[in-house]
Structure 1
Amino acid sequence: MRVEKFSIPLKTPLSTAAGEIRERRGFTIRIDEGMGEATPLPGWTESYEECRETLTEIDDPETALADLDDRPAARHGLSLALMDRDAREEGVSLFCRLDDDPVEEVAVNATLGDSSVEESADAAHEAVENGFGTVKCKVGARPVDEDVRRVRAIREAVGPDTAIRLDANGGWTREEAGRALAALAEYDLEYVEQPLSADDAAGHRELPPIVPIALDEALAGRTVAEIEALADAADVFVLKPMALGGVDRAVELGRRLENVIVTTTIDAVIARTAAVHAAAALGIERACGLATAGMLAEDIAPDPAPVRHGTVAVPRGPGLGTDGPWDGGGFDA
């Protein structure tokens, strides 16, 4: 087992209600020919140092998975390396190994960070010009009235046929969320993601049913049974394999719940490609949050699943279908 560290800056910091993301630091994992990635993001996963310590202490990758429930990023990387290895040995693509009848192409949304009214509208218009049928805008970091103006401008910029999603990253109070949903209902939103804090399941259940609600952060750190218990608190569930502890867990959960999408935590190419395989295995028709490569200033390997006109073709090669240079100055684990 070989573990190497990496650090990738974002082209432009991504502003959210939960804070600003400037870089993604993580680890690549190689087991024989299998490749995995552990890219922690505090708030969704363990810290970078906790992930590093966990990976360096693993002696037997095959048996270590059972002890990593509280280290989702580490478990994601390890389980992915094992799955990729096994799929490569069988000579099949990972998404075909995960499901007998996967889709071969996944629709994806464009992500707009927190920005001014004019900048938000311009970014949304550009996304539609580039072929995206769905745009997702970060909200919750500004006053509700300003976010409403931003959404109005986005709808005017993209027209009636483009789906609009909002993501508040838990940034609203119950009062703010109720006021925001009432004001936003006229803009025909696909859903608002995580309007309240992750631990406020009761608040999500009590929100007025005027705009569909999605849960994201609320799923992090929970068991499958605990997440299933939230089925009445939202209309859509956002599955982040890195936060859930692996592609295998994301696919298992996606089969248990209705109305799911798969997104990344702005990962590097290995984890991002794995999320594409997960979405394909689940046969998801909604646009998924997988068009995040363009947010990175660089990457650790060539991208085998680039976004073209708002969709991603799933790699057909063995395993993940990606290869990478393993010269990151890492450490043996």
Structure 2
Amino acid sequence: MAMAVFRREGRRVLTSVSPRPIAAVRSTAPISSPENDAPLGVRFASTQAVRNRMKSVKNIQKITKAMKMVAASKLRAVESRAVNSRGLWQPFTALLGDTPSVDVKKSVIVTISSDKGLCGGINSTSVKVSKGLNKLSSGPEKEAKYVIVGEKAKAQLIRDSKQHIELSITDVQKNPLNYTQVSVLADEILKNVEFDALRIVFNKFHSVMSFLPTVSTILSPEMVEREAESGGKLGELDSYEIEGGETKGEILQNLAEFQFSCVMFNAVLENACSEMGARMSAMDSSSRNAGDMLDRLTLTYNRTRQASITTELIEIISGASALEEKH
């Protein structure tokens, strides 16, 4: 019986088989790979690791599919309400006009976002638009503040604009939204901020795959009167006669408050629809990516398992040949 010493991947291995079986082992070994060159225990460990990884990816895929279905069901419930709410603020545009470019000293940017993530880039888009408005509304004699509705916009704006945040409101969408809740929210904002113009930033829903960043501007009663005196565009307000004991200033004050609550109600619903649509798209992409990863992991697992089986067969054949040579 001959003793043979050969090196394999930098390791020195001593065996007691004859030269002929050793040559046979070298000629019949499969193509070299990290799994084939590893010791038997390491190969089994890598196979178990791949199996565990496959199990984790399958669980993630189940979660993403479930989240997509939940978002789809919520979207159907909110979409009709959002479409119907668009008729609330449109009469105010006809009555007071659309004045997004009015130059004011005190601007309050109301940024509406979601409280939860995993919904694509809708929150980043709202924050980006809000920062752009802040730069345009800031100056030597100008002041711009933030009112944040939603946890995600707060988390982004608090990093570099903490000193400009006047008010932050979260957990708005925890319960089904209705006009009463949003009107209380709008009243809370009006009590805590001073403004010449409110600029509401939200995502207007178009389809599951599409949403449009939108800015709605609401002027204070003083700014409305100033624009009327300077010949600005105020829609059809001047064509109406005011009757009763209320003055024009009181009428404008009531209109501004009612307009703000109506625009806020529509903006929150539109943003909720955009959030659900973006979450559906994000979860669908995640499910497809999980499927692709499962395919790759299955292929890796099959190759690793086949390599380990082949190695075991080679070792059995080599041992049998060694016994034949010994006897």
Q: TM-score range by the shorter chain?
A: under 0.3
Please tell me whether Structure 1 or Structure 2 has the larger radius of gyration of its CA atoms. 2
Under a length normalisation based on structure 1, what TM-score does the superposition of the two structures give? Answer: 0.23
Under a length normalisation based on structure 2, what TM-score does the superposition of the two structures give? Answer: 0.23
- Looking at secondary structure, tell me which structure has more strand per residue: 1
- Looking at secondary structure, tell me which structure has more helix per residue: 2
